[in-house]
């Protein structure tokens, strides 16, 4: 009996019951792209940490046994997507997962969630950030924001880096392993820019108008579309245009509904059209 007749993406991230982020965002988005999403939780939250109160359970001690069962089933993954990791131990577990399940035909997307606006997140230690760099060589596609790209390359952060500076950062990152890099969410006045670097090709930028405040789960939806498109054979530039336009469309609707910032983005209203590239981009 084969469990590998359908496309599958393993998603390694935390699970939040409310707040539309992490696995709770990736699972419906990837499923809507006609790919089976197989979550491996790193921790379980009642709701994300942006709320005043939340319940939390660390899943670190269960992750190895969890993936042992997947190995018994001889599961093969067309894609692997990693997100926020909460400890050096989890980084080591993810590295073991990649060594075990990444095949020559597996597309690995690593979103090195570490910080923003030039600083590490308050829950992130320098040791954890250093350990995160050990996952970069496994990435086919790396999706850092500008802060994370600077941390990984030990580059001094500036919010207004030009094309030449971004290209140099991407060359350093590519030298660590990944052929494709997307530096996401660079602020350019009233726009957000995604800088796309593909080894051997000129860099490309994709811009969308900023819509409302930063919300939980936006990056998870973005990286999930990138992973789904990669497994479905979409080139990286078209994929970034697709992901950027979809997120912008969802943000506009979220603002119309006046949803609390903590509640994330209302992507559910547009899941049925997520594969309609032209309609979304228009």
What tens-digit pLDDT sequence spans the chain (282 residues)? Answer: 689 999 999 999 999 999 999 999 999 999 999 999 999 999 999 999 999 999 999 999 999 999 999 999 999 999 999 999 989 999 999 999 999 999 999 999 999 998 888 898 877 888 888 899 999 999 999 999 999 999 999 999 999 999 999 999 999 999 999 999 999 989 998 899 999 999 989 999 999 988 877 888 999 999 999 999 999 999 999 999 999 999 999 999 999 999 999 999 999 999 999 988 656 665
User: What's the chain's length in residues?
Assistant: 282
> How far apart, in whole angstroms, are the C-alpha atoms of residue 35 and residue 17?
22
Which among 224, 205, 91 is positioned nearest to 146, based on CA atoms? 205
Contact 16, 87 (CB under 8 A): no
pLDDT at 219: 93
Q: What is the pLDDT of residue 267?
A: 96
Domains and CATH numbers, the chain: 8-274 (3.40.1190.20)
Task: Convert the pLDDT of each residue in 105-122 to its tens digit.
Answer: 999 999 999 888 889 887
Per-residue pLDDT of 247-258, as tens digits, reads 999 999 999 999
């Amino acid at each position: 009996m084969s469990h590998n007749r359908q496309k599958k993406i393993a998603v390694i991230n935390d699970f939040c019951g409310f707040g539309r982020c992490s696995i709770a965002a990736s699972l419906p988005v990837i499923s809507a792209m006609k790919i089976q999403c197989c979550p491996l939780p790193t921790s379980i939250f009642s709701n994300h940490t942006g709320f005043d109160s939340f319940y939390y359970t660390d899943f670190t001690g269960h992750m190895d046994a969890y993936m042992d069962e997947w190995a018994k089933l001889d599961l093969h993954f067309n894609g692997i997507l990693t997100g926020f990791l909460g400890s050096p131990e989890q980084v080591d577990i993810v590295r073991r997962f990649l060594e075990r399940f990444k095949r020559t035909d597996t597309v690995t997307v690593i979103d090195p969630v570490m910080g923003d606006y030039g600083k590490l997140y308050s829950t992130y230690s320098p040791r954890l950030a250093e350990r995160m760099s050990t996952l970069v060589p496994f990435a086919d596609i790396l999706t850092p924001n500008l802060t994370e790209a600077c941390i990984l390359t030990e580059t001094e952060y500036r919010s207004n880096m030009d094309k030449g500076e971004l290209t140099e950062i991407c060359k350093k990152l590519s030298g660590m392993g990944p052929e494709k890099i997307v530096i996401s969410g660079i602020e350019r006045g009233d726009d957000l820019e995604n800088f796309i670097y593909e080894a051997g090709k000129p860099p490309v930028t994709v811009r969308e108008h900023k819509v409302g405040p930063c919300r939980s789960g936006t990056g998870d939806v973005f990286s999930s579309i990138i992973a789904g498109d990669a497994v479905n054979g979409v080139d990286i530039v078209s994929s970034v245009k697709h992901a950027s336009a979809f997120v912008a469309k969802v943000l506009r609707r979220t603002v119309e509904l006046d949803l609390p910032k903590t509640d994330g983005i209302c992507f559910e209203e547009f899941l049925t059209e997520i594969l309609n590239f032209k309609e979304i981009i228009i």
